[in-house]
Amino acid sequence: MPPPTTRRSRRRLPLALLAATLGAATLGAPSPAAADAPDSGGGYLVGRGIADVTGEAAETGMMGYSSFDQKTSGIHQRQRSRAFVVADRTSGKRVVYVNADLAMIFQSVRQGVLARLQERYGSLYGEENVLLSATHTHSGPGGYSHDVAYNLSVLGFQKETYRAIVDGIVDSVTKAHEDLRPGTMSLGTGTLTNASVNRSRDAFDRNPAADRAAFPDAIDPAMTVLRFRQGDTDAGAISWFATHNTSITNRNTLISPDNKGYASYAWEHDHAGVRYLDDAPGFVAAFPNTNAGDMSPNLNLKPGSGPTEDEFDNTRIIGERQLDKAREIYDDARPVGGGVDSRIAYVDMEDVTVRGEYTPDGEERRTCPAVVGASTLAGSVEDGPAIPLFEEGMRTPVAPILEALRIDTPSWLATCQYPKASLIPTGLLSNVHPVTPKILPLQIMKIGELHLVAAPGEFTIASGLRVRRTVAQQLGVPLDRVLLQGYANAYSQYVTTPEEYDAQNYEGGSTLYGRYTLPAYQQEYARIAESLRAGSALDRGPTPPDESGRQFSFQTGVVYDNPPAGKRFGDVLKAPEASYARGSTATVEFATGHPKNNLRRGSTFLEVQRLENGSWKRVLDDGDWETTYRWTRINGLTGTSKATVTWEIGADTAPGAYRVVHHGDAKNLLGKITPFTGTSGTFTVR
């Protein structure tokens, strides 16, 4: 990797944007379906569920690249939450695992989900036995954190996107709960070497030989697959693999779950025949991340480059490589036993005294109040270009907030954070308004033989390895039975090893709590692992504050919609051609309203329908890979806009008669929102 001064901003929303400017409970009664299900003889009840978490599809800042210019303009594929509930019928304990097509799980989301689950299930699902994780896509709407740093480029908190995410995750858990059936689990491991590359090699090479020897190619090639069956039926799989979910660049403005979302979609939709809008139980395939902090899918170490020069082709190919390896491991997975359990503790990461047994020099050390490093500005050429610095005299809606964040770092804090060159001491600002998190949830969840270390950030492969070794030793289990589950329960940017921190590349500059952040995590996870192994109670620590009452937004809502002169909402503005050959693209434009009027969560803005036996049947929607829905403002003064629906007609498409349908909603001057539907003329596919 080039030195920090030559590196441009990585696809991390938090630091890039700051730099520029700155849940084991008792089993309880099973669901009626589970109680009536035949007993397969397995020791578990397993359930799976999937739900839509797609937020505002137009004029909302996107989460991940910290670009003020990157705002949603439609949907390539919807974002989804995938949930699994596993109950041990012997002990009565159960756990919930969720993986969602999001950039991060913020503590705001976790608090909202747990509150909703408590309303619905009481103490059955709570902070200890619920684990929420994100795939880390950078192509979804943002504004759902309660920390200023992660909402700035989105112009503040976006209530409707937050609501869609919380509601969707809760829906997926509810479906998994209602799907509980007697079942079994199997576990398999393998290696995948052509879906990631180390984007911070010079920092990685600073690590001791024992760490480097574990990763001869400077990547973590391990894939772990947990297979679920209900009786004799395959129910789902979780496939962990470390690579950034950033095949799609910051030039894109369409919502997409990126390469991991494509892998899930291809397994569920193409192989298992799942049709999301049918709302029927089906195979659920989650592709979560592990210690992906320095793992890029852009194999040529340039944004959108590798294995091809087309970002959407790369998304599909990197997704397919994960899918193919996961299915191979899945087929060879071996049955596992063991109970389920979980422990969680909340830790003030700005104030941890780290014992010498966890520090490189054997001396007692401390973590520091959070600081964003100046090297964050340099970023990386591998995953996304840097955001330009704010120019003197520039006026933006967030200018007063940015001005308030510009304070000097006191010498004692600069010394604590050394050798980081401080840009913004966010830890000193959070008493006024939450800027970056201070109290973080640290969790270890046991699912059969597998132990998930739920980490609220982006751990590099070497830092993840050290945590795994610490936890495996404490639990007395093999290393491959411990996984670092990244992007889980909260978000606090990066975690590097002390040696990597000294390089002050992007990841080191983005390690908030100083050089001894990782040793602090090792110490605290060891404490949690000890409690899990002993079956003892654990001091939960300080409760994270609820910051929902201190949120702001500079986003204006929809004022009103008007169709073009002489048109009604839903009218076709551009008709399809009379016929299309397979392999070509059909395009239809409609007069429409603003998609913020109705997010259509769990529904669709488009349908491709085929005429079958005299009736029109939906064959595609806005969650499918072959379609796109794009919203374009024609005239802001008159509130006029159009929807463009495209369909890339696959080579295997059945010949016949087709049409395109657009569903939308329009808002009048009095604020009334009215749904409408537009339908194109019929065309043939030959």
Which residues belong to the active site? 296
Please give the DSSP secondary-structure letter assigned to residue 548: G
Residue 220 CA to residue 550 CA, distance in Å, equals: 40
Residue 494 CA to residue 15 CA, distance in Å, equals: 9
Residue 142 CA to residue 16 CA, distance in Å, equals: 14
C-alpha to C-alpha distances, 169 to 278, 286, 455, 500, 670, nearest whole angstrom: 18, 14, 19, 35, 33
Across 155-262, the runs of DSSP E, i.e. the strands, are 181-191, 197-198, 222-230, 233-241, 254-255
Query: For residue 91, with 0-12 CB atoms within 10 Å meaning exposed, 13-18 middle and 19 or more buried, which class applies?
Result: middle
Per DSSP, the residues of 379-439 read -BTTTBPPPPPPPTT---TTHHHHHHH--PPPHHHHHHHTT--EEE-HHHHTTTS--S--E
C-alpha to C-alpha distances, 480 to 211, 222, 476, 625, nearest whole angstrom: 15, 9, 12, 34
Instruction: Find the radius of gyration of the CA atoms of the chain.
Output: 24
Beta bridge partners of 268: none
Contact 238, 528 (CB under 8 A): no
Residue 294 CA to residue 304 CA, distance in Å, equals: 16
Backbone φ and ψ of 614, nearest 5°: 85, 0
List the Cα angle 467/470/475 in 5-degree steps. 120
Give which of 294, 295, 291 is closest to 464, Cα–Cα.
291
Q: CB-based contacts of 113: which residues, under 8 Å, 6+ apart?
A: 130, 132, 166, 169, 170, 173
List the Cα angle 61/632/384 in 5-degree steps. 40
Per DSSP, the residues of 431-495 read TTS--S--EEEEEEEEETTEEEEE-SSEE-HHHHHHHHHHHHHHHT--GGGEEEE-SBSS--BEE
The tokens for 580 are 């299309």
Contact 379, 386 (CB under 8 A): yes
Contact 622, 78 (CB under 8 A): yes
Give which of 505, 162, 479, 468 is closest to 291, Cα–Cα.
468
Residue 365 CA to residue 367 CA, distance in Å, equals: 7
Residue 674 CA to residue 8 CA, distance in Å, equals: 46
311-332 vs 258-265: helix axis angle to the nearest 10? Answer: 50
Give which of 289, 617, 295 is closest to 454, Cα–Cα.
289
The tokens for 578 are 């009379």
Please give the DSSP secondary-structure letter assigned to residue 90: T
Reduced to 3 states, what is the DSSP secondary structure of residue 525?
helix
Across 34-171, the runs of DSSP E, i.e. the strands, are 44-52, 58-63, 71-75, 80-88, 93-100, 130-134, 140-141
